[in-house]
Amino acid sequence: MEFLKSTFVIGFLLLLFSAALSLAEPKIRQHDFVIQATPVKRLCKTHNSITVNGMFPGPTLEVNNGDTLVVKVTNKARYNVTIHWHGVRQMRTAWADGPEFVTQCPIRPGASYTYRFTIQGQEGTLWWHAHSSWLRATVYGALIIHPKEGSSYPFPKPNRETPVLLGEWWDANPIDVVRQATRTGAAPNVSDAYTINGQPGDLYNCSSKDTVIVPIDSGETHLLRVINSGLNQELFFTIANHKFTVVGADASYLKPFTTSVIMLGPGQTTDVLINGDQSPARYYMAARAYASAPTAPFDNTTTTAILEYKSAPCPTKKGQAIRPIMPSLPAYNDTNTVTAFTTKFRSPQKVEVPTEIDENLFFTVGLGLNNCPKNFKSNQCQGPNGTRFTASMNNVSFVLPSNFSLLQAHHHGIPGVFTTDFPANPPLKFDYTGNVSRSLWQPVPGTKVYNLKYGSRVQIVVQGTSIFTVENHPIHLHGYDFYIIAEGFGNFNPRTDTSKFNLVDPPLRNTVSVPAAGWAVIRFVADNPGVWLMHCHLDVHITWGLAMAFLVENGVGELQSLQAPPPDLPQC
């Protein structure tokens, strides 16, 4: 009898063990995205907006670290489209990265393409968005990466989680907005509203009844996954009477710190914990612009959602809700608050930062103005003093190819699509953040990439310039995370500023906010073969050419080499 008992116990334990193993095994998660025009009503008007599956914002995808995503994208809209999985490392799967004419040709109307990639070693909040023209104004959604089954967060498990997607809304077709700017050479019209999870909120016309409500219980901990999905604007975000504990950013954990306001550039994500420790009531969550360019117009409106305690008192009269408490937000140009926030970021423990550097690069980033070409009419040169706006890195204004993607051209050895002479340094040294000679305001257009050997250790000083105006630039690198080892103001000084380098616990990010009239230094190891775009995530700036691409060569053997292109890769 004892033998039977022990046999039963052992069998039961083995069953439990195998069940746990099967739970912990990575999963393949399949989704269908249909890109289509959908009537969306905001600010009293209905627009035929481009959406995914008729949803705005699009569906939230949830995976575990180690899972594989398979997403079939069918284009039923009238525009070309691609989808970028922002911040996903895409190890050896550059074909699934998504930027139009960089890693793939666009998905034409009526066609489809299946993105296949595995999440490896990343946990936290990322997002996905269209990476063609200005479609990402409405084509975007959250990508949440939970720890592996059986693993947990490095902080107390929250009682609930909510994605908070900050966006921008135009009371127009965003494609028409960018096309008009391209035609005229002027800056595009600014947005008409900001949104939280697609809704402008109480402070805008015709918006109150759809204001987003986020529930909270007294005593509970709530994880907010905040994403700046906006096109062209850095944003402050806060909640009345509540403090944030920042625990992660860009799908990397951080040493927790407390703040009452956060700032995110477009593309950036920040994970914050809030506690239900205030009087049961209704509190506004609010976001508005951090406008760092002193001369540039911006949308100065404020979007709101409501943090509502479940035990909040009911309204006294039917149909009259109790007005939520409004937070105070920093001034639009409050760079001091931004600096105090970004300089608190640290990795949770000591990290392996590359110390020996193989590629020491210095990239200037900023705007420019092109003189009006002789064959253009005056209505095509409506930038300042009859010019056309442009932008550049190291004085090269990036031009996307149109017949092949850069990755296809590289993989198949197609000549004439790009050159490998992107400069490692600006062609001319000058006072980058001072008064810049007008002779330097016109960059040279080109499709240039910078070659990196597999495994090379890279440092980039990203230096902002004051050409036309200083501005905070959110610079995003595809295919990689990088350590931000320092940031500062003025011109980077290699003799003195190296003393500011944090080589112990710098944060790991995929998008760095380069301070207005300042610089940031990043480091990474080029261990992912392919062609990877580096660009400003203000879409107006990438439209003008503020971008470049790295061509990372294959290493040795299959595991250090780019996979073969998938059979359904779109053709140009």
CB 181 within 8 A of CB 192: no
Residue 17 confidence (pLDDT): 46
CB 103 within 8 A of CB 95: yes
Residue 317 confidence (pLDDT): 61
- Report the predicted TM-score, pTM, of the whole model to 2 decimal places: 0.95
Residue 2 confidence (pLDDT): 52
On the 0-12 / 13-18 / 19+ scale of CB atoms within 10 A, 146 is: middle
Cα separation, 526 vs 451, in Å, equals 10
Q: For each of the domains in the chain, give its residue range(s) and CATH number, in order of start.
A: 24-152 (2.60.40.420), 155-344 (2.60.40.420), 359-560 (2.60.40.420)
Tokens of 279: 């009087």
Residue 440 confidence (pLDDT): 84
Q: Nearest to residue 484, comparing CAs of 496, 500, 502?
A: 502
Residue 312 confidence (pLDDT): 83
For the chain, list residues with pLDDT below 50: 3-5, 7-9, 13-22
390 Cβ neighbours under 8 A, 6+ residues apart: 367, 368, 369, 370, 397, 442, 443, 544, 545
Q: Which residues of 218-236 are buried (b: 16+ CB within 10 A; e: fewer)?
A: eebbbbbbbbbbbbbbbbb
pLDDT digits (tens, 9 = 90+) for 189-201: 999 999 999 999 9
Q: How far is CA 447 from CA 419, 551, 553, in A?
A: 7, 12, 18
pLDDT digits (tens, 9 = 90+) for 77-123: 999 999 999 999 999 999 999 999 999 999 999 999 999 999 999 99
Peptide bond into 384 cis (omega under 30): no
